[in-house]
Amino acid sequence: MQTLTYQALKITQNTQNFIDDVLVVEAALQININDEPYTVVMRTPDNDKELIRGLLYAEDIYKSKKTLTFNVEEAENGVPTIINVTISKYILGKGYLNKRTLLSVSSCGICGKKELKDIKVNGEKLAQTNSFSSDILHEMFLKMNDFQHTFKNSGGSHAAALFNKNYDLLTIKEDIGRHNAVDKVIGDLLIKEKLSEANYLIVSGRVSYEIVSKAFIAKIPIIVAVSACSSLAVDFAKEFGICLIGFTRDQKMTIYSNPSFVKRKTTYV
């Protein structure tokens, strides 16, 4: 259930009409680890296992390839409200010690962090991949758009998609939260054991710190956004060796970091 229909009053100049409007669903999901509350996320239902898998990976809680056990503890109208994940205490990552105690809203991927140091990400800078033509990026957006069914119905969801080096679509997910959609696609490929094939992360909205950090942890070297990038996202992308591209629309784009990744026809003036 990703959309619901609500009645609304639509006003256009001097006319007004009652309409049935399709809205993207935003619902709370409590994630428990070993029967203890870990966090509450606001998300669009569906692909909850992928969302949790990707989140636990990004938070350095579970990096093993072994299959996780997910149990729906509570549900409302068929939509899970509490899901418990069972993980052996011997393989819980260090991120579990930084237990989230606050609500993680759909617009913010770092809500619930306790201290500033908790948003730092460590690791070796990603090596540059083979360069690619800027023309192919628009084609990848078109492929992603074909599968944005929730957005087409509601206009209120974000999408994230992962492509391999051959520009083949590996997975696409939608959610009301930008970072949730990223967690879902990463989690999907983790479950399928194909995350190492991901080379391009395409996102339908803007890029801020948390999306760059998730891509870095997943070793995805190229992020392409349809909208803006924050200053911290650019700083992190430069530090991590990620090629970050924003405002990719209408045959235009802005390359914020590692432009050597991109083969361009344009000459500088």
Q: According to the model, what pLDDT value does residue 206 have?
A: 86
- Three-state secondary-structure class, residue 172: strand
Kindly report, residue by residue over 178-203, the tens digit of the pLDDT: 899 999 999 999 999 999 999 999 99
* pLDDT score, position 97: 67
Q: Tell me 252's DSSP state.
A: E
Span 61-66, average pLDDT: 88
**148 annotated among ligand-binding-site residues:** no
As a whole number, the mean pLDDT across the chain is 84
247: alpha, beta or left? (left if phi > 0; alpha if psi -120 to 50) = left
Alpha-carbon Rg for the chain, nearest whole angstrom, is 19
CA–CA distance, 53 with 146 (Å, rounded to integer): 25
Q: pLDDT tens, 122-138?
A: 667 887 777 787 788 88
The tokens of 108 are what? 């913010």
- What does the block give as tokens for 164? 């391999």
**250 labelled ligand-binding:** yes
Supply φ then ψ for residue 74, to 5 degrees: -145, 150
Domain CATH for 168 = 3.40.140.10
CB 19 within 8 A of CB 62: no
- In percent, the amount of the chain with pLDDT more than 90 equals 35
Of 118, 149, 182, which residue constitutes the final position of a domain? Answer: 118
- pLDDT over 90 (residue 265): no
- The residue with greater pLDDT, 58 or 130, is 58
What is the per-residue burial (b if ≥16 Cβ within 10 Å, else e) of 162-200?
A: bbeeeeebbbbbbbbbbbbbbbbbbbbbbbeeebeebbb
Phi, psi of 246 (to 5 degrees): -125, 175
**Would you say residue 4 lies in a domain?**
no
- Whole-prediction pTM: 0.83
Domain membership of residue 50 (yes or no) is yes
Structural domain includes residue 176: yes
Residue 106 pLDDT level (bands cut at 50, 70, 90)? low
**Annotated binding-site residue? 251:** yes
CA 250 to CA 110: how far, in whole Å? 32
pLDDT tier at 269, thresholds 50, 70, 90: very low
Decide which of 95 and 175 is more confident.
175
The reply to whether 150 and 223 lie within a common domain is yes
Q: Is residue 191 part of a domain?
A: yes
Structural domain includes residue 16: no
Active site residues: 108
Same domain, 89 and 139: no
- What's the average model confidence in pLDDT over 73-87? 91
Evaluate whether residue 13 is within a structural domain: no
Tokens describing residue 254: 């802005």
> Residue 174: enclosing H or E segment and its boundaries?
strand 169-175
Residue-number span of the structural domain to which 201 is assigned: 132-263
For residue 269, being part of any structural domain is answered with: no
- Nearest CA to 221 among 165, 178, 170? 165
240 annotated as ligand-binding: no
Q: Residue 174 above 70 pLDDT?
A: yes
